[in-house]
């Protein structure tokens, strides 16, 4: 344990705690800032009128979602189009019924959130705050992420926020149980 109580056994508490699996190598903080600053945002380059969600996160990942032309009630399909955290344009096809919230990307979860119409707290998001640092290809267990977020809100005595994340988590459990 260090003197300030930040970590234990020489391993700082912040290093890797709840970190999503990344398919990209770590970059310096300065390189990440410079990259994000120069990354075009999705609302600057895509203007489809039939978007069901648009936004991004703190990594520079910026995209919109819309239903694919061949989407059906039995196989709801969403197109995600935007720029990743490296500034590269991407387009992905997401089959809603194939999403597993226990191993999903943030883009898949945003598609699921939009498709299900999960109520957003103050119009914000139904996903835990930790999702804001995920890149395009990062996968994580969102159900564990929800548990941590609910626990954190409980420690902070934020009962309404904890209850909201409990509601959101239940919506995704219900989705998984219907499969």
Q: How far apart are the first and last CA of the chain?
A: 45
- Number of domains into which the chain is organized: 1
Q: What pLDDT digit, counting tens, does each position of 35-59 carry?
A: 555 545 444 445 557 889 888 888 9
Q: Answer left, alpha or beta for residue 152, where phi above 0 means left and psi between -120 and 50 means alpha.
A: alpha
Range of the domain at 99: 26-178
Supply the pLDDT for residue 6: 41
157 found inside a domain: yes
166 found inside a domain: yes
1 found inside a domain: no
Give mean pLDDT, residues 106-121. Answer: 92
pTM exceeding the 0.85 threshold for the entire prediction? no
Q: What pLDDT digit, counting tens, does each position of 93-107 carry?
A: 999 999 999 999 999
């Amino acid at each position: 344990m260090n003197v300030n109580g930040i970590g234990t056994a020489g391993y700082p508490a912040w290093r890797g705690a709840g970190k999503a699996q990344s398919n990209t190598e770590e970059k310096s903080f300065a390189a990440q800032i410079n990259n994000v600053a120069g990354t075009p945002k999705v609302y600057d380059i895509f203007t489809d009128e039939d978007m069901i969600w648009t936004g991004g996160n703190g990594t520079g990942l910026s995209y919109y979602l819309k239903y694919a032309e061949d989407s059906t009630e039995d196989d709801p399909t969403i197109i995600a189009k935007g720029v990743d955290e490296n500034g590269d344009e991407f387009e992905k096809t997401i089959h809603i019924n194939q999403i597993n919230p226990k191993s999903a990307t943030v883009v898949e979860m945003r598609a699921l959130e939009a498709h299900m119409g999960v109520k957003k707290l103050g119009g914000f998001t139904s996903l835990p705050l930790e999702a804001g640092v995920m890149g395009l290809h990062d996968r994580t267990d969102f159900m564990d992420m929800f548990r941590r977020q609910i626990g954190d809100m409980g420690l902070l005595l934020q009962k309404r926020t904890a209850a909201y994340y409990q509601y959101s988590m239940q919506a995704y459990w219900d989705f998984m149980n219907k499969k």
